[in-house]
Every structure is written in C-alpha cells, then in structure tokens.
C-alpha cells in the first residue's frame, strides 16, 4: 500500500470523523446536563438540513446566487431551525418527563425521531426521493501522487474542528458555559446559586442541536445529496461515538467520532472480506470496547459508578 493511498484513506476518515464528532457532541451535552438520551437527535439534524436546503431553493428562486452568501444563509437557517426544534423538544418533551424513568425519555424521543423522519418523507415535496444538495464550496483539488486533496473537504474539516473548539471554549471560558457545567454537576446546588435552570437546559439543547445541523449541512456539502433517512445512521453512529468516548465528556465525543470513522475506514480498506461489512465491523468493535470499558474511554469525571 503506497503513501498516496494511505493519505486518501486518512483524509476520508478525518472528514467522516469530524461529522460524527459533531453529532456525538450533542448527545454528550444532553446527557451531561440532564442525564437523558435524546434519540431524535439524528432526525432533528435531518430536519435542519432540509430546512437549509429549502432556504437554498428560495435563494435560487429570488436570484441570490453567490455561493458564499448562500452557504452562510443556509448554515444560519438550518442551525436556527434545529436549535429551535431542539429547545422545543427539551421544553415540552424532555423536561416534563424529568421525574419519570429515563427509559420513558428515551422512548419518547425515539418515537419523535420516527415521526419527524416520516413527516419529511410524506409531506416534503417529493420527500421520499434523494435531493441533490448544491456544491457551495470551491471544488478545486490538488493531486498529490495518487491522492486528491480537495479544497471543500479541507474547508469542511477545518470549520467543523473550529466549531468544536469554539464549543469547548464556550463551555470552559464563558458564564453560560460555567452555568451549564454547574447544572451538569449538581442541579440543585446550581439552582440555589441563582442559575436559571430552565434557561440553561434550553440553551444546551439549542446549542447541541445547532452543532448537529452543522454536521447535517456538512454531510450535504460533502456528498451533494440529502435524503429523509440520513439522520438515522448518523444519529446511531453519533450515539455510539458518544458512548464509546464516554458519555458526558466533550473530548470523549470527539475521540469516539474519530475512532468510529477510523474503524469504518479500516473495515473497508484492510479487511479481506467485502466492504459491505464495514458497519458490522465498526459496531462490533464498539461492542468490544464497551465490554472492556463500560463507562467509555474517557469517563465523565463525576460519573456515578454503581
């Protein structure tokens, strides 16, 4: 195997890893703050991507064709929609069930995800067919000895990593971040200290969902295609990545995302049998890791071990 080939695999893996990490970050934020699993995450992401796509169609219709302007508007639209939907789910579905067993939250969001998915399939015009997502990024590429490095992939990865870094800084350096961490650590004490609990929870869900929308648009730009089912596998992979990395830990989510992408690439590149099994391979390794480290590779510091 020559260097160009390895570089190509590496590049593919990094793009995928960034996408998975962005989704996993949402799972980890929600769990950190409320100790809940929100299974509709992937489908909210899909909804946001479709919202962005619709806005793009609108922009085309009114004649705004500058790709950079389009990109910014599409990104803002889809992130705002997802953030709003995420916050709404927190307010009306997750918080009211706070006293109920966690299984109920999991089930409710699981069903909500299916409802969102089917709603897009049935009610979005021609929603069951894949849509051609526009290529808004420059498509220049440099050929480095059998390895095509594309400008759009580089931009996507850099933007995705910057977003994660920004999120990390927000959590560690700002008052909102402090409040989120306080609520995550001890909800009652945080409330006594005067933190607006409801506001912090809603903000967390809005931020987590908005980040996922970025992953959705990134997915659309990378593959130039979106469909109503795209959130299902992305959500599942993001969830697994968050668990493997250590639920409730931001670095764990990032590690998990890249690990999963790495496993997929290894699964299809190195294994002798057909690449149709790459997801089987990746998920099987995840199972093995969970058996080895039940709380994930980087466990939440304040995790309550039983």
Instruction: List residues near other proteins by CB under 8 A.
Output: 1-2, 5, 8-9, 12, 16, 121, 128-130, 132, 141, 143, 146, 148, 150, 153, 223-225, 227, 229-230, 233, 264-265, 267-269, 274-276, 278-279
Query: Shortest CA distance to 297 belongs to which of 252, 257, 264?
Result: 252
Comparing CB distances to other proteins, the nearer of 209 and 268 is 268
131 φ, ψ to 5°?
A: -110, 140
Comparing CB distances to other proteins, the nearer of 2 and 60 is 2
Comparing CB distances to other proteins, the nearer of 93 and 155 is 155
User: What is the distance of C-alpha 196 from the center of its chain?
Assistant: 26
Beta carbons of 265 and 68 less than 8 angstroms apart: no
> CA angle at residue 51 from 47 to 54, to 5 degrees?
135
Comparing CB distances to other proteins, the nearer of 100 and 148 is 148
Measured from the CB of residue 58, what is the shortest distance to other proteins in angstroms?
19
Measured from the CB of residue 268, what is the shortest distance to other proteins in angstroms?
4
226 φ, ψ to 5°?
A: -130, 155
Comparing CB distances to other proteins, the nearer of 157 and 167 is 157
- Phi-psi domain of 100 (left: phi exceeds 0; alpha: psi -120 through 50; beta: other): beta
Comparing CB distances to other proteins, the nearer of 12 and 168 is 12
Measured from the CB of residue 42, what is the shortest distance to other proteins in angstroms?
13
Measured from the CB of residue 291, what is the shortest distance to other proteins in angstroms?
26
Measured from the CB of residue 179, what is the shortest distance to other proteins in angstroms?
37
Comparing CB distances to other proteins, the nearer of 40 and 268 is 268
Measured from the CB of residue 142, what is the shortest distance to other proteins in angstroms?
10
| C-alpha pair distances (Å), 299 with each of 28, 37, 40, 205, 251 | 11, 16, 24, 21, 10
The string of DSSP letters for 235-247 reads HHHHHHHHHHH-T
Reading the block at residue 105, the tokens are: 């939250």
Measured from the CB of residue 90, what is the shortest distance to other proteins in angstroms?
28
| Type and span of the H or E element at 215 | helix 197-223
Query: Is residue 303 classed as helix, strand or coil in its secondary structure?
Result: coil
Beta carbons of 238 and 287 less than 8 angstroms apart: no
């Amino acid at each position: 195997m020559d260097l160009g080939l390895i570089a190509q695999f590496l590049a593919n893996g990094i793009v995928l890893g960034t996408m998975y990490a962005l989704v996993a970050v949402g799972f980890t934020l929600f769990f950190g703050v409320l100790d809940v699993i929100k299974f509709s995450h992937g489908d909210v992401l899909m909804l946001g991507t479709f919202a962005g796509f619709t806005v793009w169609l609108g922009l085309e219709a009114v004649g705004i064709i500058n790709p950079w302007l389009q990109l910014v508007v599409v990104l803002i639209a889809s992130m705002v929609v997802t953030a709003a939907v995420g916050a709404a789910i927190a307010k009306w579905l997750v918080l009211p069930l706070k006293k109920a067993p966690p299984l109920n939250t999991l089930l409710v969001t699981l069903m909500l995800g299916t409802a969102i998915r089917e709603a897009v399939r049935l009610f979005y015009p021609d929603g069951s067919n894949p849509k051609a997502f526009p290529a808004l990024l420059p498509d220049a590429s440099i050929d480095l000895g059998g390895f095509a490095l594309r400008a759009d992939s580089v931009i996507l990865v850099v933007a995705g990593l910057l977003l994660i870094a920004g999120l990390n800084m927000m959590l560690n350096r700002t008052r909102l971040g402090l409040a989120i961490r306080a609520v995550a650590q001890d909800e009652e004490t945080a409330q006594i200290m005067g933190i607006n609990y409801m506001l912090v929870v809603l903000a967390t869900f809005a931020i987590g969902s908005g980040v996922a929308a970025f992953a959705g648009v990134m997915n659309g730009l990378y593959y130039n295609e979106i469909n109503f089912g795209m959130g299902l596998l992305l959500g599942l992979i993001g969830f697994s990545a968050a668990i493997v990395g250590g639920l409730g830990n931001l670095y764990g989510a990032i590690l998990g995302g890249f690990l999963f992408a790495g496993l997929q690439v290894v699964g299809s590149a190195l294994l002798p049998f057909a690449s149709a099994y790459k997801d089987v391979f990746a998920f099987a390794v995840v199972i093995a890791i969970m058996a080895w480290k039940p709380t994930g590779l980087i466990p939440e510091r304040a995790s309550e071990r039983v």
